[in-house]
A and B are shown apart, each in its own frame.
Chain A
Amino acid sequence: MWQGDYLYLIENLILKDFRVRYRNMSLGMLWSLVNPLVMMGVLTFVFTRVFSNNAIPHYPVFVLCGMIPFNFFSIAWTSGTTSIIDNAGLVKRVPVPREIVPITTVLANCVHLLVQIALLLLLVFYFYGSNRQWIWLPLVWGLEVVFVSGLALLSSAVNVYIRDTRYIVESANTVLFWLVPIIYDSAIVPQKYSGFYEINPLAALVLTLRRILLQAEGPDGPTHTLWKFAGVSVAVFVFGLLFFHRMKPRFYEHI
């Protein structure tokens, strides 16, 4: 059994990832902002100039509100999926609890998320001002981290046995970009498809964020999206942990 200081280990692994990524970049943390800003610019051009659209005010802020949670979800899930294989040296040589590997990979991405949230809040504050529903934001973002960690535990364990898993995850992310209301308003979705948006946890997340930030309304709304999302996140995390625990004894032989 590995007996040690879990928090200190997690902190060190996150710092490692962070330093490795930024030490060789002259712009450092600014790179976390460049990607969402470029995407925001391109999407705004396409959806306000190419397709003219005046229904959504402050389209750049609107689109950023969907993109930032989605980007974090997609990058954290993809890198979490391959984390056990990417850290094979660690998993095969050091008897640390394996759960640490996908979870720290997800947490390491939170550093970028924080920078991007700061950008988002700044823009929202400039165009809409702040409101007291903002106190729900830490809970909403926290639930997203829990949700992604659960998915990463699941898919990283499967990826050890079936290496195609990462490609399935990457494709799923591409599909999700269009099926989550990032570039459009979920209100325009025809009634017969709205059921899908009701059960899509990522759509719930984006809707909740927009309700808080852009409409200054309570997070829950008439359809209780926040509490459904909370339930799904915790359930996915617990299931992910149990599944990972079942699969991990034979990781060693398959890496």
Chain B
Amino acid sequence: MNISDERPAILFHGVWKSFARHAGQMLIRDRLKQLLKPHAHDLFHALRDVTFSIHPGESVAVIGHNGAGKSTLLNLTTNLCRPDRGSIAVNGRVAALLELGSGFHPDLTGAENVCINAALLGFSRRQVRAKFDEIVSFAELAEVINEPLRTYSTGMMMRLAFSVAVSVNPDILIIDEVLGVGDLSFQAKCLERIRQFRLAGKTMLCVSHSNETLRELCDQAIWLDHGHLVEYGPIARVVEAYKHAVSLQAACSSS
């Protein structure tokens, strides 16, 4: 019946992704130089030959040091950029909780920002109308929703962004370091909402530096190191191996 059960939700096959290090090299002068010396590019490889497949209903953590390629992997999955080599297949509707509130504007009211953010996530007018009250009450901001966003605290802003993002009903949910949102009671609420996603059989891909949160939310893990996929398997095993490697490295560098 369900076709997507047979196909992987996310499939990476031999994916390479590199970025040119060209800070400030965006002027005509630099372009002319590149034309004259085309091989002067300095490339940074964010992902090197990464292959894995995630089945529908699995929740997978991505772990690794800063700059290991975690965010690049998430951005490739949401189709924000394309791989240099290799192929990526994603089956199902993706919603990303990447950098919450990227469309927010401080001079607009909470309500106006909800509409813009929801429209960016693909909502229609009818869907926004239907979900508006739910979004506001989940964020616990009903009293201040018509105030300009600049009067909100950072926590309040993040709560609003999170509420909009989770009101999308995606097949695949992508979460990048956003679980430290709001105070403790709101965090508990967020985790509860994400648990519901899992119970509903949705696929999840998470990045977080909090191993406890990841262990609670995910059953599999991908470990990236300098763009290489080191290990992919049950989360307990991969996190242990990662921790072991980190402590070994720390021991080496201190001795």
Contact = CB atoms under 8 A, between A and B. Distances in A.
Interface of A: 1-5, 8-9, 11-13, 15-16, 19-20, 23-24, 89-90, 92-96, 161-164, 249, 252-254
A16 B27 contact: no
Nearest to A24: B107
A13 B124 contact: no
A4 B123 contact: yes
Given A15-B112, A162-B27, 9 more contacts: A3-B93, A5-B119, A5-B125, A16-B108, A16-B116, A93-B99, A94-B103, A95-B79, A161-B26
Interface in B90-140: 93, 98-99, 102-103, 105, 107-108, 112, 115-116, 119-125, 128
Contact of A162 (B26, B108, B116, B120): B26
Contacts of B78: 95
Contact of B116 (A13, A89, A93, A161): A13
8 contacts: A3-B93, A12-B115, A20-B105, A20-B108, A94-B120, A94-B121, A163-B27, A253-B20
A13 B117 CA distance: 10
B105 A252 contact: no
A20 to B, nearest CB: 5
A90 B108 contact: no
A13 B116 CA distance: 7
B124 A1 contact: no
Contacts of B98: 93
Given A13-B116, A20-B105, A20-B107, A252 B80 contact: yes
B121 A93 contact: no
A96 to B, nearest CB: 6
A3 B123 CA distance: 9
A92 B96 CA distance: 12
A8 B99 CA distance: 23
Given A89-B102, A163-B26, A164-B28, A8 B123 contact: yes
Given A8-B123, A12-B115, A16-B116, A93 B108 contact: no
Contact of B79 (A1, A161, A163): A1
Given A162-B27, A162-B28, A252-B81, A16 B125 contact: no
Contacts of A90: 102-103, 120
